[in-house]
Every structure is written in C-alpha cells, then in structure tokens.
Amino acid sequence: MAHTLGNLFILAAPSGAGKSSLIKALLQKHGETGLHNNAMQVSVSHTTRGPRPGEVDGIHYHFVNREEFQALIKQEAFFEWAEVFGNYYGTSKVVIEQTLRQGIDVFLDIDWQGARQVKAQIPDTATIFVAPPTKEELLRRLTDRGQDSADVITKRMTQAVEEISHYHEFDYVVVNDDFDAALAELDAIVTSRRLRKEKQIIRHQQLFENLLAG
C-alpha cells in the first residue's frame, strides 16, 4: 500500500488485559478530530459469533454466519482472519484501505496471529502488545467482568499464556498496571507515529514547498 496520512495500529493482548478499554479511553480523550487534527477509529471486524448484550451490528462487529464468512475468505476479502473459541473473526481489506486514505488512524483489536498476517502485508503497521501486570490480576479482571463461565475463564487463562509468549514480536509493549499510565504510553506511541517524516511530508507538503521556494 502506498504511503497514506492515516496510521494503522494493532493492539493485541490476552482477554482481560484492558486493550479495548484503553482504545475507548484514547478515542474519548481526543474526540472526533484526534491528535494533530487526525481522526481515529477502531476497525469493525467481521465475526460469526452471536452479539453480546448491547452490541450492535455494524458498530461493534459485522455479524455474519459461517457460510458468509467462508465466502469472504474465498474472495480474499480479509487482511487477516482466524478461528477463536469456535468462531471466525476477520479484518476487511477494503474498509481499512479506504479509511487510511482518508487520513484516519485505524486501530485493530486482534491477536498475535492476525498481527503477523497484517504486518506481512502492511509493514508500516505499528504493533502494540498490552500485558497485564500479573496472572493473578488478569484472573481477577476476567472474573469481575461477569461475562464468562468458570470453564470459559479457565480457557481464557490458558490462551493468555500462549498470547503473552508472542509479546516479543511486537514493536511496542505497554503493561497495563496503572490504567492512566498505560493510556499515556499508548497516547505517546500514537503521537510518535504521526510525527514521523513520511507522515509529516504528506501532512505539510505545501508548507515545505513554500519554505524551500526560491
């Protein structure tokens, strides 16, 4: 993909580490225009799992059945897709590309496998791993959510070890012990990506042409 003003970010973490809360807080902190007048949004993935209470189709996920998802796989419509706990999840190529071209930063909330797939296709992607401070704290957060049964929580804790074992593959690591501190670190990563030369050349092309004019 050619250079775009928008930045693509991947946030991966074991369930319960707080990545979704961090993304939500970052969006609320900067409002619709975001940092340096850039908008930012979370990518809406496709999934075959059923909606949870309060989830809306097209806002939280694009909810499709297995046949529809498999048809999209055959059409190579996804940057990445995976099967997690018996359900499919995928990231649309067309939606991401169009959003980045509009100068909007996009956050993908996906696992390490998806991060590998996207990074291979878009090397400029910034990958961020969000880690919990301890296993005990992760278990407490999963339990306090009250969304899953004891069996599911046990599976999520087992999956967490697998997810965490790939932390070294990411460009950045944020430990979510103190939420405000973790949010500030995520904020700093976004700012640094937006200030890179390649992005500033696109953003301030007219300025530099005027500064260098004879």
Distance CA 138, CA 144 (A): 10
Domain-located, residue 176: yes
Whether residue 11 contacts residue 167, with contact meaning beta carbons closer than 8 Å, is answered with no
Chain centre to alpha carbon of residue 113: 13
CATH code, domain with 125: 3.40.50.300
Domain-located, residue 165: yes
Distance CA 24, CA 109 (A): 11
Whether residue 21 contacts residue 174, with contact meaning beta carbons closer than 8 Å, is answered with no
Whether residue 92 contacts residue 77, with contact meaning beta carbons closer than 8 Å, is answered with yes
Domain-located, residue 154: yes
Domain-located, residue 66: no
Q: What is the pLDDT of residue 85?
A: 82
Q: How many domains does the chain have?
A: 1
Task: Give the chain's end-to-end CA distance (angstroms, integer).
Answer: 34
Domain-located, residue 84: no
Whether residue 163 contacts residue 112, with contact meaning beta carbons closer than 8 Å, is answered with yes
Domain-located, residue 88: no
Q: What is the pLDDT of residue 33?
A: 47
Domain-located, residue 174: yes
Chain centre to alpha carbon of residue 52: 20
Domain-located, residue 112: yes
Structural domain of residue 203, as residue ranges? 8-43+104-212
Please tell me whether residue 19 adopts helix, strand or coil conformation: helix
Per-residue pLDDT tens digits of the chain, which is 214 residues long? 556 789 999 999 998 899 989 999 998 887 654 444 458 888 888 999 999 899 999 888 899 999 999 999 999 999 889 888 899 999 999 889 988 988 889 999 888 998 999 999 999 999 999 999 999 999 999 998 877 888 999 999 999 999 999 999 999 999 999 999 999 999 999 999 999 999 999 889 999 999 999 7
Q: What is the pLDDT of residue 34?
A: 44
State the residue for tokens 């649309």. 92
Q: What is the pLDDT of residue 146?
A: 79
The total of other beta-carbon atoms located within 10 Å of residue 81's CB is 22
Q: Across the strands, what pairs with 158?
A: none
Chain centre to alpha carbon of residue 16: 15
Whether residue 40 contacts residue 105, with contact meaning beta carbons closer than 8 Å, is answered with yes
